[in-house]
Structure 1
């Protein structure tokens, strides 16, 4: 049986990885500055992570959510402590799209409305309502398009109020730093204004932290730079360091009831151990501070490259914008310099999403490669 051909693939076959490096079948070493779409938060094959998962799978890998699972409670407690999101409740699922799907569904249950407001260049997943709220018509099938979604310009607070004043919007879903869209970020006045409007019009504010959460921006969540209180926070990617897990944090103004949400695999024993270990390592190794420190170093180095027209993002969710498409540059970085980087909807943007364990010496390798390719 052949694979359904939906991914353009680079001719590289990784077989092992350690911290910020990936090795292919020929034992060629690559510097990973993309982390598999911001998934690798504490480095590949972290010894504490490997030991924790190995120990758990030897005891109990999975059982259903119809029984007690203290590992879910431990994860929720650790997440509350490290994120500072006190009094929120946790629902666990399996991915970022599923997290946003549950967030939108819960918002609609909560206020009885069905329309969604999202933003230009936003990306929230590839399933049902999540993909309908994504600004990419190429991945929205007719069955998804029946969802009622209004996509507005990021930063247009007047348009947000005009939409919410109709009193049919269940949720505003927003990435405080856009990921796939190209690392665009609006102002504090905009995000805080949206929060005020959501509360005024009984609309749920959903902070999509699938890519930006778990310390990637230097704060635990990207929204924490602003004075906002999301009703629902969606999480995934860096949450499991490669083990599939997602979830939503739910403000106490939204009440639970039996059967409201459900999942078979969400919050399984292995997933909980994986995510709890990620949180422990982030705390023990001060990786949020490292994200801030390395970010500052990266930005200073980037200023020395004349071809870089704009430096975008925060922490270790960064982008280098050029005045030309970066597809060929990205290939040269991979095949000639052995460095993984990422692309975005913005064709001129090189995305940098490394493990939070990255060091200055690794940043230097990137900029040496860029200088050699760009001559300046």
Structure 2
């Protein structure tokens, strides 16, 4: 039996990793500026992370959510303190798609409505409801098309008001910053209008912070760059576990649900919570949110100096930039000749950068020099 062929693979076989470095089976060293789709938030194999998980595994690796799990309470409290959402409740699950599914389910349950609004270029996952709200027909099957979904461009408030006034919309889901779509940042005024309109019409605003959360943009959540915005539900995953599969939904205290509505076998297990706590502890101890903002600002400014780059978008260490040519060959040169991992996006000319939050400027300079080299050769 072979793995099902679903991914276009880079011809590299990583065997170990530390910090922002990866080594392949032949001993070649790579600089990681993609973090496995924004998952590696505190660097590969961080000592505190390894210690936390090892110590927990030696005590207990797993038991179901049918018993009290104190480490869940510890994680929930720590996440509330750092994020500024101490009064919210936390449902723990296993992935970003699962987090979004549960947020959608909660919004529909408490409103008694079935319709949802999402946005062009958005990506919310590959499970049934999440993929129905994702703007990519290639991954939507006939089964997923049974949902009542309206996918709109950013800024179409007239149409949004009209749909909400119709009384059939349970909620609106929007990414704090669109990731797969090449790092598209929604306008703060637009976000505030969404929140106000949802409140007026009894719908729920869901902020998908799966990729843009956990300090990546220089705030704990990307939507916190918009002062006064208070979503009803916030979904998280990716950087939450630094590679350990976990996700969650932050739920406004006014939202209640009966026992049995939400559930999960593996979500919030002892090892996942140990990983999640380690991530938060390192973010605090090493001041990584500030570093994300500082390093990201530096990188954005340096990228602006490169003439072959047409447009740059992002905040902190969530950056996308468009080249004058297709990005695929450039990314291939970077990984195979210069040993640097970068990310692709929906746009064929776009490169995404999502490094660990503790990336150092000397590593960013290595990337910038190599990028100059590749682009200059291509020009020649």
User: Does TM-score exceed 0.5, indicating one fold?
Assistant: yes
Alignment of 1:45 onto 2:49: no
> Partner residue of 1:157?
157
- Provide Cα deviations, 1:23-44, integer angstroms capped at 9, x if missing partner: 0001100000000000000000
> What's the offset of the Cα at 1:186?
2.3
1:1-376 to structure 2, matched below 5 A, reads: 1-226=1-226, 227-375=228-376
Segments of structure 1 that go 5 or more residues without pairing to the other structure are none
Q: Distance in 1 between matches of 2:177 and 2:333?
A: 27
Counterpart contact for 2:215–2:292, Cα < 8 Å: yes
| Comparing 279-288 and 313-322, the one that deviates more | 313-322
Cα distance in 2, alignment partners of residues 104 and 303 from structure 1: 39
Give, in whole Å, the separation in 1 of the partners of 2:121 and 2:346.
8
Distance 2:33 2:16 in 1: 16
Q: Is the 8 A contact 2:173 2:205 kept in 1?
A: yes
Asked whether the 8 Å contact 2:18–2:46 carries over to 1, the reply is yes
| Partners of 1:289 and 1:185 in 2: CA distance | 20
The runs of at least 4 aligned residues of structure 1 exceeding 4 Å deviation read none
Tell me the TM-score normalized by structure 2.
Answer: 0.98
Q: Distance in 2 between matches of 1:370 and 1:7?
A: 25
Distance 1:218 1:281 in 2: 15
- Cα distance in 2 for partners of 1:278, 1:357 equals 12
| CA distance in structure 1 between the aligned counterparts of 2:267 and 2:321, rounded to whole angstroms | 36
Distance 1:24 1:147 in 2: 43
Query: Where in structure 2 are there 5+ consecutive unaligned residues?
Result: none
Residue 190 (structure 1) shift: 0.4
Q: 1:249-305 CA distances to partner (integer Å, 9 max, x unpaired)? A: 000110132112000000000000000110000000000000011011101211221
Q: Give the Cα separation in 2 of the matches to 1:355 and 1:103.
A: 27
- Distance in 2 of aligned mates of 1:313 and 1:246: 23
Give distance in 2, aligned partners of 1:252 and 1:99.
Answer: 17
CA–CA separation in structure 2 for the residues paired with 1:320 and 1:366: 14
Tell me how far apart the structure 2 counterparts of residues 74 and 290 of structure 1 sit (CA, whole Å). 25
Question: How far apart are 1:199 and its partner, in Å?
Answer: 0.2
Provide the secondary structure at the position in 1 that maps to 2:72: helix
Q: Report the CA distance between 1:130 and its aligned residue.
A: 0.3
Deviation at 1:176, TM superposition (A): 2.2
| CA distance in structure 1 between the partners assigned to 2:270 and 2:24 by the alignment | 30
Note the C-alpha offset of 1:157: 1.6
**More displaced stretch, 306-315 vs 278-287:** 306-315
Deviations 1:111-130 (A, max 9, x none): 00001100000000000100
CA distance in 1, matches of 2:56, 2:364: 35
Q: CA deviation at 1:9?
A: 0.7
- Secondary structure of the structure 1 residue equivalent to 2:182: coil
SS of 2:170's partner is: strand
**Which piece of structure 1 moves more, 42-51 or 152-161?**
152-161
Structure 2 SS opposite 1:151: strand
Cα deviation digits, residues 169-222 of structure 1 (max 9, x gap): 111000121010111112111000000000001000000000011100110000
- Mean alpha-carbon deviation: is it higher for 249-258 or for 97-106? 249-258
For 2:29 and 2:64, the matched residues in 1 are separated by 40
- Following superposition, the deviation at residue 87 of structure 1 comes to 0.6
For these two proteins, the number of residue pairs brought into alignment is: 376
Partner of 2:358: helix, strand, or coil? coil
The answer on whether the counterparts of 2:114 and 2:170 sit within 8 Å (CA) in structure 1 is yes
Note the C-alpha offset of 1:11: 1.0
Separation of aligned partners in 2, 1:317 and 1:134: 20
- Once superposed, what is the RMSD of the aligned Cα atoms? 0.8
